[in-house]
Structure 1
Amino acid sequence: MSESELSTTIAAGFGHYFHDFARRVRTMASNLTDDQFWAKPYPYGNSFGNIVLHLIGNLSYYIGTQIEHTGYVRDRDSEFAIVQQGRKKDEILAELDETVAMVIRSLGNQADNDWSRQYVAQGVDDVPDRFSIYLRCCVHFHHHIGQMTYLMKEWAHRAT
C-alpha cells in the first residue's frame, strides 16, 4: 500500500466513524422531546443536549480551529450550561451535522505528510500529531455516545 493509499484509507476510515456517530446521535435524539433533550434525568451528569454541545465544541476547536483555522472560539463551560433557552433540538443537531461535515472535509484535506505533522492545542498536551488528534476526537465522540445511550435507557424506563 502506497502512502497515498494509506492516507486515503485513514481519512475514509475516520470519516466513516464520524458520520456513523452523528447518525447514531440523531437517531437517539429523534425519540426525545425538546424538553427531554435539555433535561437532566439525574441530579448529576449532563443532559443529552449538553453532551451534543460538548461534542460540537470539541470537534470545532480541536479540528476546526487548530487544523482548519475556522476561527471558532471555544467556551467549554457554556457547553454544560443547564439553561439553553430558545435553542431547539433540531437546531443543535443541524449544528452537529455541519460540524461533522467540516471534520470529514478536513480529513479529506490531509496530505500524506500531514498526518504526522506536530499538533499543539490547549488541553491535549499528550497528543503529538494530527493523526492522534483525529483518533482522540473519534474515541471521545464514541465515549459520549455511550453516555447518551445510558440517558436514552433512563428516559425509556421513566416512560414505562
Structure 2
Amino acid sequence: MLTETLINLFERDLSKLEEEIAAYGTEEALWRIPEGISNPAGNLCLHLCGNLQHFVGKVLGNTDYVRNRDLEFSARNVPRQDLLEQVGATRRIVLTVISGLSNADMEKIYPEIVFGREMATGHFLVHLQGHLNYHLGQINYHRRLTK
C-alpha cells in the first residue's frame, strides 16, 4: 500500500514541478533572486532532481548517478529545457525504482545513514516526498513573486 501511495504522490508532485518550471514567463525569471530569497527556482529544481536521483536512483536503484550537491545550488542560467529534461528523467527513475519495492523492502533499513541514524526505507521515502513538496511550494511562491 505504501508503494502505491508514494508512486501517486511522486507522480503528482514531479508533474507539478514540470508545470511550475514551464509556467515561468522567461528563463531569466527562473534564476532571479529577489531580496529575502536564498535560492531561485532553477537551483531548487536542480536540487530536487539531484536529491531524488541520488537517494532513490543511485542508492535504491543502483544507477550510476553521481551527485554534485554544491553545483545544485551554484549553477546559474541552465536552460529551461534542460531543467525539464532532468525532471522527466528523475520522474522515470523514481517511479521505476519505487514500483519495484515490495512491502518487505519498505520495512528494510535504508542502505545509507541519513540524519545520523538508521531508518526504514519507507520512512525515508516519505521524508523525500515531503522534501519535494516543501521545495515545490517554494518554487510556486518564487514564480508568483518574480512575475
TM-score computed with the length of structure 2 as normaliser: 0.90
CA RMSD of aligned residues (A): 1.7
- Counterpart residue number, 2:92: 101
Which structure 1 residue ranges, 5 or more long, are not aligned?
Answer: 1-8
**Alpha carbons of structure 1 residues 42 and 80: separation in structure 2 relative to 1, 3 Å:** same
- Counterpart residue number, 2:125: 134
| Matching residue's letter, 2:3 | A
User: Which structure is larger by alpha-carbon Rg, 1 or 2?
Assistant: 1
Report the more deviating stretch, 120-129 or 71-80.
120-129
Report the more deviating stretch, 36-45 or 22-31.
36-45
Aligned-pair CA distance for 1:31: 2.4
- Partner of 2:136, secondary structure, is helix
- Counterpart residue number, 1:17: 9
Which structure 2 residue ranges, 5 or more long, are not aligned?
Answer: none
Aligned-pair CA distance for 1:122: 5.2
Question: What aligned pairs does 1:73-92 form with structure 2 within 5 A after superposition?
Answer: 73-84=66-77, 87-92=78-83
- Partner of 1:80, secondary structure, is helix
**Alpha carbons of structure 1 residues 137 and 20: separation in structure 2 relative to 1, 3 Å:** same
Runs of 4+ with deviation above 4 angstroms: none
| Matching residue's letter, 2:109 | Q
2: distance between equivalents of 1:16 and 1:79?
26
| Identical amino acids, percent of aligned pairs | 22
TM-score computed with the length of structure 1 as normaliser: 0.83
| Matching residue's letter, 1:36 | A
Partners of 2:3 and 2:102 within 8 A in 1? no
- Counterpart residue number, 2:51: 58
